[in-house]
């Protein structure tokens, strides 16, 4: 009788061990480290994104937020970090004309299966590399917020953005769009 009770206690502890989050998932930590070379403008934000630095728990890294129950990344804020607060407003310290065109590989974000919010503002993103465009993000079923403000995007990306199934907020302020705000019959909202 006592051994059955002990087995139940041990089994319960084993189950609770699996539910208790100790940090981020290895594949997401690896994916974050693979993002680092592509977002060199956020070096200050990502300075602790290295093995052996401060913490290997990527849920503690700047710009990363995780689900406290699952340890999965839910928010990535990779906005260009060379801005400063001035009288309650954010003022960027770069000139938009100084940014070079950047072509994104959207597939780099696919390991973040619970990602809800992705912020990629102020990078000079002009589009995506071939076959790795924003339509790849349609595999992220929880992605609700996408911030692509202050980039160099144009109308060519609108159809791929309209394929994102759970997107609720899309920020596209200060890009290079023409007058049309329709993508494959879907209305795209330009938030400012």
Q: List CB contacts of 111: < 8 A, sequence separation 6 or more.
A: 27, 28, 30, 31
What CATH number should be reported for the domain whose range is 21-187?
3.80.10.10
Q: Report the pLDDT value the prediction gives residue 81, as an integer from 0 to 100.
A: 54
Q: Is the Cα dihedral 147, 78, 22, 15 positive or negative?
A: positive
Average pLDDT, the chain: 77
pLDDT band at 96 (very low <50, low <70, confident <90, very high): very low
Q: Read off the pLDDT of residues 106-153 as tens digits, 9 standing for 90 and up.
A: 999 999 999 999 999 988 899 999 999 999 999 999 999 999 999 999
Rounded Cα distance between 86 and 83, Å, is: 9
Is the model more confident about 141 or about 21?
Answer: 141
**Domain layout of the chain by residue ranges:** 21-187
Distance CA 161, CA 146 (A): 10
3-state SS of 47-94 is: CCCCCCCCCCCHHHCCCEEECCCCCCEEEEECCCCCEEEECCEEEECC
Task: Read off the DSSP letter of residue 136.
Answer: G
Residue 64: strand pairing partners = 76
Flag whether pLDDT at 158 surpasses 70: yes
Taking only the tens place, the pLDDT of each residue in 42-59 is 656 676 676 545 467 889
Q: Which of 41-45, 88-92, 112-116, 180-184 is most confident?
A: 112-116
**pTM score:** 0.74
What percent of the chain lies above the pLDDT cut of 90? 42
User: Of 84, 79, 82, 85, which is closest to residue 64 (Cα–Cα)?
Assistant: 79
Residues 6+ away with beta carbon under 8 Å from 154: 126, 127, 175, 176, 177, 178
Question: What pLDDT is recorded for position 102?
Answer: 85
CA 101/CA 77 separation, integer angstroms:
20
Count the Cβ atoms, other than its own, within 10 Å of residue 37: 8
């Amino acid at each position: 009788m006592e051994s059955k009770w002990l087995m139940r206690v041990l089994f319960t502890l084993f189950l609770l061990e699996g539910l208790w989050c100790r940090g981020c998932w290895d594949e997401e930590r690896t994916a974050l480290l693979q993002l680092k070379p592509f977002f060199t403008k956020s070096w200050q934000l990502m300075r602790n994104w290295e093995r052996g630095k401060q913490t290997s728990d990527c849920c503690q890294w700047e710009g990363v937020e995780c689900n406290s129950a699952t340890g999965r990344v839910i928010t990535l804020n990779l906005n260009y970090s060379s801005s400063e607060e001035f009288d309650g407003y954010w003022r960027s310290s770069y000139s938009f004309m100084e940014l070079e065109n950047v072509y994104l590989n959207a597939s780099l974000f696919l390991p973040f299966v619970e990602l809800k919010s992705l912020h990629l503002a102020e990078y000079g993103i002009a589009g995506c590399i071939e076959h790795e465009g924003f339509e790849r993000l349609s595999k992220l079923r929880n992605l609700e917020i996408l911030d692509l403000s202050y980039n160099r995007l144009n109308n060519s990306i609108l159809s791929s953005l309209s394929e994102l199934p759970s997107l609720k907020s899309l920020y596209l302020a200060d890009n290079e769009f023409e007058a049309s705000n329709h993508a494959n019959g879907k209305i795209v909202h330009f938030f400012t």
